[in-house]
């Protein structure tokens, strides 16, 4: 198997065969094209990259670090300990902090318990009606946005890739949450001064490509046991692995087309308020995070 570009021995084949050096160049150029196409960044932006320590978020951090001089923006990295035993890896903080130290990237760290000022954080998952991953994701979004704003960042970047986008789409479509579907774009604009824009630089990248990128770049990762690419048992992952075997180009074609269309559903336009307790933006008088905190 030969690299399609340099004709040396290839070490990866997803949609085409590449040697490590050509794959890294190909990967970074695709992200650069996405940034230009969707104007994800502007000169002078301060972007907070949310890094869990896994392959996707560290790929996002690495590629944004590589491109920051070209686009003239600043970056910082936030590592957030979710305080869930199955998800918290004692190596994670060290791995992410070392990654930032080697590149001179400002590193920030906090945890659910510390940031929300809850000593017994496990109770918040017990009182929530959502599944543990849903509650975790909701709290992450709350902290990412608020922490970024408090530390003078003007955009939030996450490592969501094509696999995540397509799974979110079908889960929400099946449940009738059409307003969520239309947010699954490379760029989610702000709808309130307290809500920062979000960018997804890996929107057109596959999970397996992110894994290859960190492998070829020799970047150490520390994965969550529940979210690991190799151990997940989610039925949607099984469905898309089956599709991959039959239609390898399906995911990338799907997200590229999804980015170009607007999904309009029967959802009524929501009114937004500042939470009466914390001041963050919510469609209720009291936001979900403060509501959960009040129950424990």
Cα distance between residue 173 and residue 194, in whole Å: 28
3 annotated binding-site participant? yes
275 annotated binding-site participant? yes
Inter-axis angle of helices 162-175 and 250-260, nearest 10: 70
Two tokens at 120? 């017994």
**What CA–CA distances, in Å, run from 137 to 63, 142, 168?**
24, 9, 12
Cα distance between residue 118 and residue 123, in whole Å: 9
87 annotated binding-site participant? no
Q: Rounded to 10 degrees, what is the CA torsion of 256, 259, 263, 267?
A: 130
Cα distance between residue 269 and residue 96, in whole Å: 39
- For tokens 């969550």, the residue is 224
Say if residues 255 and 248 touch (Cβ distance below 8 Å): no
Say if residues 41 and 26 touch (Cβ distance below 8 Å): no
22 annotated binding-site participant? yes
Alpha carbon 168 to its chain's center: 12
100 annotated binding-site participant? no
Alpha carbon 284 to its chain's center: 26
Task: Tell how strand 281-282 and strand 273-274 pair up.
Answer: antiparallel
Binding residues: 3, 6, 19, 22, 275, 278, 287, 290
Binding residues for Zn(2+): 3, 6, 19, 22, 275, 278, 287, 290
């Amino acid at each position: 198997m030969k690299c399609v570009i340099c004709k040396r021995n290839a070490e990866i084949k997803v949609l085409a065969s590449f040697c490590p050096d050509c794959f890294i160049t190909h990967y970074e150029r695709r992200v650069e094209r996405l940034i230009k196409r969707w104007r994800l960044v502007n000169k002078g932006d301060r972007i907070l990259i949310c890094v869990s320590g896994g392959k996707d978020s560290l790929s996002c951090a690495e590629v944004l670090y590589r491109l920051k001089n070209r686009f003239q923006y600043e970056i910082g990295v936030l590592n957030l300990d979710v305080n869930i035993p199955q998800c918290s890896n004692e190596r994670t903080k060290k791995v992410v902090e070392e990654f930032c130290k080697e590149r001179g990237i400002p590193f920030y760290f906090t945890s659910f318990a510390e940031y929300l000022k809850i000593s017994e954080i496990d109770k918040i998952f017990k009182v929530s009606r959502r599944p543990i991953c849903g509650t975790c994701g909701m709290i992450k979004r709350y902290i990412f946005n608020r922490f970024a704003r408090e530390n003078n960042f003007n955009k939030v970047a996450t490592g969501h890739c094509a696999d995540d986008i397509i799974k979110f789409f079908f889960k929400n479509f099946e449940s009738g949450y059409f307003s969520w579907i239309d947010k699954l774009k490379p760029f989610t604009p702000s709808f309130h001064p307290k809500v920062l824009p979000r960018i997804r630089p890996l929107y057109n990248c596959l999970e397996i490509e992110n894994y290859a990128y960190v492998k070829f770049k020799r970047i150490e990762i520390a994965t969550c046991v529940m979210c690991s690419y190799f151990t997940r048992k989610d039925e949607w992952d099984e469905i898309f692995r089956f599709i991959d075997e039959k239609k390898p180009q399906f995911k990338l074609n799907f997200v590229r087309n999804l980015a170009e269309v607007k999904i309009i559903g029967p959802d009524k336009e929501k009114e937004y308020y500042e939470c009466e307790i914390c001041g963050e933006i919510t469609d209720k008088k009291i936001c979900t995070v403060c509501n959960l905190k009040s129950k424990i």
